[in-house]
Amino acid sequence: MTSFQSTLGEESGIAEELAENQQAISIAEFFEKNKHMLGFDSGARGLVTAVKEAVDNALDAAEEAGILPDIYVEIQEAGDYYRLIVEDNGPGLTKESLPKVFGKLLYGSRFHVREQNRGQQGIGISAAVLYSQLTSGKPAKITSRTQGESEAQYFELIVDTDENEPEISVEETTSWDRPHGTRIELEMEANMRARNQLHDYVKHTAVVNPHARLELREPDAHFKFERATDQLPEETEEIRPHPHGVELGTVLKMLAATDSHSVSGFVQEEFTRVGKKTAESIIDEFRDRHDGREMRWRPPASQEEIDLRAVVADATANKGQEATSAFAGAIADAVDERDRIAHHELREMVADAAEAAEADHGTTFGDTVQENALEAVWLALVDATDDDEADSNDADSRLVGELYDLADEATSTRKDDAVVHAFADRLAGMFTDALDEDVRQRLTQRELREYVDRAADLTEEYDDVAFGDTARENVVETIWGVMATVPDEPPLVRELADDRDAASDLIDAMRETDIMAPPTRCLSPITADLVEAGLRKEFDAEFYASASRDAEVHGGDPFIVEAGIAYGGDLGAEGSVDVLRFANRVPLVYQRGACATTDVVKSIGWRNYGLDQPGGSGLPNGPAVIMIHVASTNVPFTSESKDAVANVPAIEDEIELAIREAARELKRFLNKRRSMQKRRKKQNVLGKILPEMATKVAEVTGRDEPDIDDAIARIMNNVLVEREVEANGDAKAVSVVVENNSSTAERLEITDIVTAEPTALPDDVTVVEMDGEWFVKWEPDVGSGDEATLEYEVTTDASFDLSVKGVETEKLTVKQ
Ligand SMILES: Nc1ncnc2c1ncn2[C@@H]1O[C@H](COP(=O)(O)OP(=O)(O)OP(=O)(O)O)[C@@H](O)[C@H]1O
């Protein structure tokens, strides 16, 4: 005991004294002291967070009401403070809800809703009000007008931190030129040191919300982001949780709150994607965990000389010979028809046989008779034949034989036969012993594993052989595979609600059952096309790629990850790439280093995708932007300030897959670019050397100089497009020849622009005249090593101009 402890022990009433100091803390007081948790840790950051909270709310509210958002943000210098004004054209707030929305923490419409929203906790805007009143001492000034109302409501209020309730100082009606919407005015101690973050937030919000019009006016800048589309994002719908990944506490709460009585009703009513069939599969999985499975044995083979009729007849008394024999025969035949039988299956067969015998012979085969027959047949199946020659060793030979077959099937061929037999023998002994405790031989998978482990340990010990983990696991799996799920009714919901272990079995069962991915109507991904369009709008790059994954689930909430990459062009080549992070269409500005998105980007081997990555890990270098969007009904953030996505493995996996999908396209682009660069270099060298060689050769041989273009095209495996014009009487015969020297088939788009009307054209070309010029368009498919020719005529002198598309310039030689 320490001296401090001894003092404590001697003084009576110290606990009471300490207890007097204990008191409840209001949530508002708590956040007042822990402003950093909500993103208000400094003046610079506080301003950005306040803008973010107000703009996110405005977007949420307008979209929810089906209104194209039009948001105006203004930051003014106001003496020692900064004044923030945010106006939206959303549906507005009623007189009753407005004070609570702005003057009470943890008050909101989204916390209990399983639907993708920017807001989640109902803290954001009231925290901004709290920050403003703490730093400037001024109340928040809110104007709001709901649709159809002739006047707007005006409030001045603060948060009463003791009570966490709004304290209203002014409440009146006013006129406002917006037909509907909300205007917030907050004064706060702030500075513009985080101007870049503020601009990034607004700019990136515009990238992922092309349907919104945003305007930002601050002391030194004024931006307008016009909307790029009049299409609101698909309306989202609320959904129930998905059974994959829900946690025990949540399920216990749901069990306590549900109106369903049965587990089947519960899983169908409370979860998404669970119909009757899925519910049955979940319950089967639950039974496997909660009740275990029953061992199924083979019926006796004919050579075993087990006479089941005699066994049943011996166990049945006083039912008359005819009826008894019909009863026994029906059981024996039913057993004989099966591949394997579990105890509960045999029980059903006996009941069926009793019913049939009763119907045919008028004799009742009641419960006791059925029980006797069941026990006798079951023991004959699992125990032994009672045949005269059987000695005690043969007593379990049926089980040994069957378990030997199963173990043999499960283990590698390298295992010695005698060893497998010895193992099966030991395992059979355990099954036989189990009969004393539970004649049905019900085992959970864990119990079966214990049996197998024990038998394997003994085998290792006495037979001096290895019986490794894989072999053990295979044996468990094989035996578990032949065991039967039991038909027992699962406990009622109210029993489950009080039974943690059983509820946990239900969660495992839900996890193990194949269940369709959750519906995505509750999510509003940006879509791959718009991810790319957003990047194009914002970054002048050379290459863009994007990927949008299918929905997955974490903690019962569906989520979708999207990724995009922009590369080259005007993007800065110095230093590491830019990572743009978004959650539910909201740009994440702070805590980049603590975000799962950044962690995943760092963990990818970017050299493999053609980017420079010093040391082979960490952020890659180069002129690239990597964008990641996580959309979910519940984005797991690292803190209430919603700056960084938490390290949830299921989400990290999807982030990685989405990035890799886009990165593969980048790799293809970079590889191609590299090979084209090589080609260009080689072609340049050839273009220099060949003419000199040609001249020399011509000089030496006294012949004409060979055609250089043709030669280059062949050496470089290029596609050569060549036009020739020959006089043909008064007319001119024109031919355009395509010679494909490359190793792949090519589809070209050739336009010959002619200043005279072309005639004698083949059918597969189109001609359009514009201002005295004729555009002859021809689209030949030319196989590798093949040639194609277009021929036509012009009657007068003309000039020509060939344009060729469909083949990279590096692979093309045009001669005209
Ligand atoms: N501009 C607005 N127009 C209409 N309703 C609004 C507006 N701003 C807030 N609300 C309503 O007030 C509620 C509370 O907003 P608040 O910012 O406190 O929390 P939230 O957005 O729900 O969650 P979070 O704390 O994650 O931001 C919202 O859920 C919404 O119903």
- Ligand 1 atom, smallest distance to 181 CA: 3
Fold classification of 27-225 is: Heat Shock Protein 90 (3.30.565)
Report which protein residue has its CA nearest ligand 1's atom 21. 119
- Ligand 1 atom, smallest distance to 182 CA: 1
Q: How far is the CA of 163 from the centre of ligand 1 (A)?
A: 20
According to the annotation, is 110 in a ligand binding site? yes
- The number of C-alpha atoms within 13 Å of 626 and in the hemisphere containing its C-beta is 27
**559-590: pLDDT as tens digits:** 999 999 999 999 988 899 999 999 999 999 99
- pLDDT for 500 equals 93
Letter string b/e over residues 572-589, b meaning 16 or more CB atoms within 10 A of that residue's CB:
eeeebbbbbbbbbbbbbb
Report which protein residue has its CA nearest ligand 1's atom 14. 108
CA dist., res. 189 & res. 94, Å (int): 29
Whether 194 contacts 47, CB under 8 Å: yes
> Residue 292 in 3-state DSSP?
coil
Q: What are the φ and ψ backbone dihedral angles of 224, each rounded to 5 degrees?
A: -125, 130
Whether 742 contacts 769, CB under 8 Å: no
Pocket test for ligand 1, best of 125, 126, 131 (most atoms within 8 A of CB): 125
| Percent of the chain topping pLDDT 70 | 96
- pLDDT for 530 equals 84
- pLDDT for 469 equals 92
Whether 632 contacts 117, CB under 8 Å: no
Q: Give strand pairing partners of 154.
A: 143, 172
- pLDDT for 10 equals 56
Give DSSP secondary structure letters for 173-225. EE--SSSSEEEEEEEE---STTHHHHHHHHHHHHHH-TT-EEEEEETTEEEEE
Q: Give 339: exposed, middle or buried? Use CB within 10 Å, 0-12, 13-18, 19+.
A: exposed
**761-782: pLDDT as tens digits:** 998 899 999 888 999 999 999 9
According to the annotation, is 121 in a ligand binding site? yes
Fold classification of 528-672 is: Ribosomal Protein S5; domain 2 (3.30.230)
Whether 603 contacts 636, CB under 8 Å: no
According to the annotation, is 109 in a ligand binding site? yes
Strands, E, within 655-755: which ranges? 719-728, 731-740, 746-747, 749-754
Q: Label the pairing between strands 749-754 and 758-759.
A: unpaired
- pLDDT for 8 equals 53
Report which protein residue has its CA nearest ligand 1's atom 1. 58
Tokens (6 digits) for 304: 């075993």
Total-model pTM? 0.68
Report which protein residue has its CA nearest ligand 1's atom 9. 57
- pLDDT for 645 equals 96
Pocket test for ligand 1, best of 38, 40, 51, 60 (most atoms within 8 A of CB): 60
* Size (the chain), residues: 816
Map out the domains of the chain as residue ranges: 27-225, 248-291+489-512, 295-382, 390-487, 528-672, 708-815
Of 615, 623, 611, give the one whose Cα is nearest residue 659.
Answer: 611
**28-61: pLDDT as tens digits:** 788 888 888 888 988 899 999 999 999 999 999 9
Distances from the Cα of 161 to the Cα of 33, 164, 719, angstroms: 11, 5, 77
According to the annotation, is 642 in a ligand binding site? yes
Pocket test for ligand 1, best of 51, 73, 88, 101 (most atoms within 8 A of CB): 101
Q: What is the ipTM of this complex?
A: 0.96
CA dist., res. 774 & res. 734, Å (int): 14
According to the annotation, is 57 in a ligand binding site? yes
CA dist., res. 266 & res. 273, Å (int): 13
> Residue 629 in 3-state DSSP?
strand
According to the annotation, is 816 in a ligand binding site? no
According to the annotation, is 132 in a ligand binding site? no
Cα 217 from chain centroid?
38
**334-380: pLDDT as tens digits:** 999 999 999 999 999 999 999 999 999 988 999 999 999 999 999 98
What is the tally of helices (H) and strands (E) in the chain?
24, 28
Pocket test for ligand 1, best of 57, 131, 180, 185 (most atoms within 8 A of CB): 57
Report which protein residue has its CA nearest ligand 1's atom 13. 108
Tell me which residues have their CB closer than 6 angstroms to ligand 1. 53, 57-58, 61, 88, 90, 93, 101, 108-110, 119-126, 182
3-state secondary structure 363-400: CCCCHHHHHHHHHHHHHHHHCCCCCCCCCHHHHHHHHH
Whether 657 contacts 606, CB under 8 Å: no
CA dist., res. 781 & res. 573, Å (int): 39
Judge: domain 248-291+489-512, CATH 1.10.155.
no
CA dist., res. 240 & res. 253, Å (int): 14
Indicate the class that CATH gives domain 708-815: mainly beta
Of 291, 287, 299, give the one whose Cα is nearest residue 335.
Answer: 299
Q: How far is the CA of 122 from the centre of ligand 1 (A)?
A: 6
Residue at 131: amino acid letter: Y
Whether 324 contacts 316, CB under 8 Å: yes
Q: Which residue's structure tokens are 């003791």? A: 162
- pLDDT for 383 equals 67
For the chain, which residues score pLDDT lower than 70? 1-12, 303, 383-396, 413
- pLDDT for 678 equals 86
- pLDDT for 514 equals 93
- Ligand 1 atom, smallest distance to 642 CA: 26
- pLDDT for 387 equals 46
